[in-house]
Structure 1
Amino acid sequence: MKSPQHLFLFTAAPIVASAYTLHHQQRHPSFAVHNTHPYPQQRSSSRSLYRTDVDPSTLDVLTTSITNSLSDISNKIASRGKQEETHSSESSSSSSLFPAAGGVTLRQAEVEHGMPWKNSVDPKAYADDDDDLLYMKFWEWQMDFMEENLTDLQIVSCTNEDGTDFSHNINKEKKARIVNVCATSKEYRKIRMTYYDAGDNTQVFNAVWYPDPEYNLPVLGIDLLAFNRKKYLAIVDFQPIHDEEKDHSNTYEHLLKPIKEKYDSLKGRMSSKFYDETQHFSEQMLFARFDDEDIVSRDLFPAFKSYVKTHLNLIRSTERRPEDVDMVLSKIKAYDTYSAERDPATGLFAAMYGKEWAEDFVHDFLFSMSVRAEEGATPPANPFMGGGGPPRQGGGNPHAPQQQQPRP
């Protein structure tokens, strides 16, 4: 591939021939490379350069101006190339995130697979119910909130390095589909959203908001599930990346407590039988198991919106600390690895879309900074998603497997 300097050799002649026009042309790093009409429309000034009666000093001034302009443009392109190379290296080492090709917008990514869906993939699902996609309003509200409130919002590709596209998958035989969108902004390194629709069997909305690593702050985690429209599970939390709240740049539980106090239905506690709830869960986590669907709209939806707004406000009130980036990314790596090893959805996705797809999805998309075990991920037992029935009564950690799978 030719260097920027070589490219300018091929474009310099026509630019010299139109020196006056170039001198007044708005300078842009890609001008000489991408302009499909390198010759100006007005050619009188360029022809005058070859007249014998032109003052030599004028030509010297114009030539000097051109030389300086080309040097300036070349330096800008070289600088931009180094920045892109650095960004690519950082993205690869931190999370394998990269912008989607073609400048895809948030709305374009959303509608690519028909989102927001209006009806379930299963035509038998709640034929008499207009609300067969229970959590779609959470998806729609979050999309609107991101678009209206985040700075420099960009879509991130859902394709991993092996070329697997995780943006959509469907099992027509089992009537189950999944859609994913991933974005980045100045406030957040990564925001991923997932909607899983399996008709009257399972409805899931999941989202995780990772702050930019210059903010030493908790991750916002959202997990909302419905089983047979009889049993419901909800978790919304500022998930700490440190063992102690005080080790974050700002404390935050005092911001969440007044919100949680409004909703008695969301004050449940998960069992510690399989899970250490002090690790990556806060004291103000919204947690609920319930069988009254009215709670979704009455309590869960407004509480969810309040937690999302509060998380963004926390970021905006926190000073950036570039010196913390390496430390924060190491904590996120530990968080992702911990979560990937225990994600209860792995078994469901393996059953629906195959083990290889499920493992790659968990490690390359859901928790993209996780470290895989050498023998590969072992899907945990998953007794309540994807046809296994509702969660058992009496609590239990929503993210933990009911039975820990031994590793070789």
Structure 2
Amino acid sequence: MRFIQGQLDGEGLSIGNELFRCIGLRKLHLEVARLGNGLQILHSVWFPDPHYDLPIFGADIVAGPAGISAAIVDLSPTSDALPEQLIQRLEARPWPAFRQGRELPAWGSAIFSNKVCFIRPDGADEEAAFQELVSHYLQVMATSVIEATPEPSTALTTVRRYEGQLNYCLQQKRNDKTRRVLEKAFDSAWADRYIDMLLFDNPPEL
């Protein structure tokens, strides 16, 4: 799965994946995809180990010849809400005044936090501002990972975070756009395996 090639509407589709893990994070996934000389996609998700009180970091950028059409970043809670200290760290940096906000799909509204940023960058200045915002979210996430301590598998908070991550993966799998592209470039069974086993695999049982 590290490097995959296919065809979509007569153009070559290439997908590259990098996977990492560390204490506190069960999977760090970076995916880059390119369709011909046009569409480019960057997708990254950091899935926490449910034993740690950590959110899910997610970022996506979709770009074409005309520029970036969609950019999103979030630290999504796996329990009822983001930890208060994490919220304070996110709010320590002023929110950029982006001019073109985008509406979340219904499945996204069920899992993203109220700190999600989903935009169509309007010019190079907003592209740079979004990049800085992603860097800030990553720094907040990295600091939280370093400071986090594990809780037992039997702890109610651990179980809730596990269930929250299951729901996050379930909602992400309802993104029909991703599935349709993969089905068209490969086939339905392959698309299901790729989504279920790589993009949004469920956390191991506690």
Shared fold (TM-score, shorter chain, > 0.5): yes
Q: Distance in 1 between matches of 2:45 and 2:74?
A: 10
Which residue number corresponds to residue 103 of structure 2?
A: 270
Which residue number corresponds to residue 91 of structure 1?
A: none
Deviations 1:121-167 (A, max 9, x none): xxxxxxxxxxxxxxxxxxxxxxxxxxxxxxxxxxxxxxxxxxxxx22
TM-score, normalised relative to structure 2: 0.83
Residues 61 and 68, structure 2, Cα contact 8 Å, conserved in 1: no
Deviation at 1:224, TM superposition (A): 0.8
Give the structure with the larger helix fraction. 1
Q: 1:259 aligns with which of 93, 101, 104?
A: 93
Deviation at 1:339, TM superposition (A): 1.0
Q: Distance in 2 between matches of 1:218 and 1:267?
A: 26
Q: 2:17 aligns with which of 151, 175, 180?
A: 180
Which residue number corresponds to residue 304 of structure 1?
A: 134
Q: Which moved more, 1:208-217 or 1:171-180?
A: 171-180
TM-score, normalised relative to structure 1: 0.44
* Structure 2 runs not aligned, ≥5 long: none
In the TM superposition, what are the counterparts of 1:257-406 in structure 2 within 5 Å?
Answer: 257-261=91-95, 263-265=96-98, 268-271=101-104, 274-275=105-106, 278-296=109-127, 298-322=128-152, 323=155, 324-342=157-175, 344-369=177-202
Which residue number corresponds to residue 139 of structure 1?
A: none
* Structure 1 runs not aligned, ≥5 long: 1-165, 371-408
In the TM superposition, what are the counterparts of 1:229-248 in structure 2 within 5 Å?
Answer: 229-242=66-79, 244-245=80-81
Which residue number corresponds to residue 46 of structure 2?
A: 209
- Post-superposition, which runs of at least 4 consecutive aligned residues in structure 1 deviate over 6 A? none
Instruction: Supply the AA of the counterpart residue of 2:197.
Output: D
Q: Distance in 1 between matches of 2:101 and 2:132?
A: 17
| Secondary structure of 1:206 counterpart | strand
Residues 107 and 175, structure 2, Cα contact 8 Å, conserved in 1: no
The 1:260–1:351 alpha-carbon spacing in structure 2 relative to 1, beyond 3 Å, is farther
Instruction: Supply the AA of the counterpart residue of 2:132.
Output: P
The 1:239–1:266 alpha-carbon spacing in structure 2 relative to 1, beyond 3 Å, is farther
Residues 107 and 171, structure 2, Cα contact 8 Å, conserved in 1: no
Matched residues, number: 198
Q: Distance in 1 between matches of 2:109 and 2:13?
A: 34
Deviation at 1:366, TM superposition (A): 0.5
The 1:175–1:291 alpha-carbon spacing in structure 2 relative to 1, beyond 3 Å, is farther
Instruction: Supply the AA of the counterpart residue of 2:112.
Output: F
Residues 13 and 35, structure 2, Cα contact 8 Å, conserved in 1: yes
Residues 24 and 49, structure 2, Cα contact 8 Å, conserved in 1: yes
| Secondary structure of 2:120 counterpart | strand
Q: Distance in 2 between matches of 1:353 and 1:276?
A: 25
| Secondary structure of 2:18 counterpart | strand
Deviation at 1:217, TM superposition (A): 2.3
Identity of matched residues, %: 20
Q: CA RMSD in A?
A: 2.4
1:221 and 2:52 are equivalent in the alignment: no
1:167 and 2:2 are equivalent in the alignment: yes
Residues 52 and 148, structure 2, Cα contact 8 Å, conserved in 1: yes
Which residue number corresponds to residue 26 of structure 1?
A: none
Deviations 1:297-340 (A, max 9, x none): x2122221111111111223333212343332222112111111
| Secondary structure of 1:209 counterpart | strand
Highest RCO, 1 vs 2 (Cα 8 Å, sep ≥ 6): 2
Instruction: Supply the AA of the counterpart residue of 2:147.
Output: S
Q: Distance in 1 between matches of 2:107 and 2:174?
A: 14
The 1:180–1:331 alpha-carbon spacing in structure 2 relative to 1, beyond 3 Å, is same
Q: Rg larger in 1 or in 2?
A: 1
Deviation at 1:275, TM superposition (A): 1.1
Instruction: Supply the AA of the counterpart residue of 2:92.
Output: P
Deviation at 1:278, TM superposition (A): 4.6
